[in-house]
Structure 1
Amino acid sequence: MKIPALKSNRLLLRSLQPEDAAAIEAQLSEPMANPGLARALHPDSQGHAAEWISAQATGTHGIALAITEGDRFLGTIGLEPSTLRSIGIFAPTIGYWLGAPFWGKGFMQEAVRCLLDWYLPFEPTERIGTSVFEANTRSLKVLEKLGFREVERGSTYSQLLGKELPDIKLELTAQRYYEAI
């Protein structure tokens, strides 16, 4: 499926390009740039961003888009297909990260809203899930403002930190999303 470029007031969400690899590696190599990511490229991962971009282009991993403002690469956002399709649950998972220089400016809430505004009418689903480390209060605020609600607490292994961390699983229903916006 070809994903169109999605525009919001300030942002463009577009397909990842090979030239985005350098920006991804630079932003994720900053000390503690994204401690909230369960799966992340590590500072010594030269070349892994290009491999990841190439894998995303196949579409088998879901939707992955670059978040940009003008010519600036800010981060990525995407939706992974449900891992529970075999039992009839079609709930994709949303994930994202933003380079540290762009935190606290409302970019992520704008990007998530832009993706959901496009996706929900296009592919109606009963819910969308996500998981956030308990300490990632910024991400929790973004999600709660958009109507995501906590459904479970547990733990997830952080590749970046090399240990299990407490996490919160959240869900969004289309009805709650439309009520929140």
Structure 2
Amino acid sequence: MTTLATPRFLLRPPATGDAEPIARYLNDFAVAGNLARVPFPYHLSDARAWLRTRRPGLPLEETNFAIELPGTGFAGQVGFHRGSGGAVLGYWLGQPFWGQGIMTEAVIASLDWFFRASAANEVLSGVFAFNQASLAIQTKLGFTQTGRSTLLCLARNAEVEHIDTIITRAAWTGRLQ
């Protein structure tokens, strides 16, 4: 299983011991309400059930990384899941860690890894229309908007307007030139 080092922290495979901080941070509507696939309230049993799905040998498109801050521990997640159009990037960060550039650094490391490890020509993502902080990360990193859709937000129990985004391999590798 892959572990990535960034200048400030590690991205490592999620572990059983992450269940309590996952449950604590996702049982915050300010976090869960920005995510499509997370119910609210979010319980320790939800975290344990999700962690049981993380096992060695998953395809690259199903890889998730725990964000491990030195001296603090688990702070959030970044990773990929399979969508109908290919790999989809998703991420979240516990509210105490917002506004520190952590997620930008985590997304950079995970996309660098994904494009090196796979033959994929693009990664899809997106944000709910009200999530301007997450959209700012994607815009800064070169994602482009491809349209709008609606997506079920489990925490809100509603279909919510979603801004669909994409980054191509060429745009990702070309951003440094």
TM-score computed with the length of structure 2 as normaliser: 0.90
Equivalent residue letter for 1:63: T
Gaps of 5+ in 2: none
What is the percent sequence identity of the aligned residues? 29
Which residue matches 1:6?
4
Alignment of 1:99-138 (within 5 A): 99-138=94-133
Amino acid at match of 1:80: H
The residue correspondences of 1:41-120 to structure 2 (distance < 5 A) are 41-57=39-55, 59=58, 62-70=62-70, 71-84=72-85, 91-120=86-115
Offset from partner CA, 1:52-110 (integer Å, 9 cap, x none): 011122526710110111142110111113434xxxxxx31110110011111100000
1:143-162 maps to which residues of 2 (within 5 A)?
A: 143-162=138-157
Structure 2 counterpart of 1:20, from 18, 21, 28: 18
- Give the CA RMSD over aligned residues: 1.7
Q: Which amino acid aligns with 2:68?
A: T
Equivalent residue pairs, number: 173
How many Å separate the matches in 2 of 1:33 and 1:150?
22
Tell whether the 8 Å contact from 2:32 to 2:40 is kept in structure 1 after alignment. no
Following TM superposition, by how much is the alpha carbon of 1:162 offset from its aligned partner in structure 2, in angstroms?
1.2
Q: Distance in 2 between matches of 1:77 and 1:44?
A: 18
CA distance in 1, matches of 2:42, 2:142: 37
Q: Which runs of 5+ in 1 are unaligned?
A: 85-90
Alignment partners' CA distance in 1, 2:121 and 2:166: 10
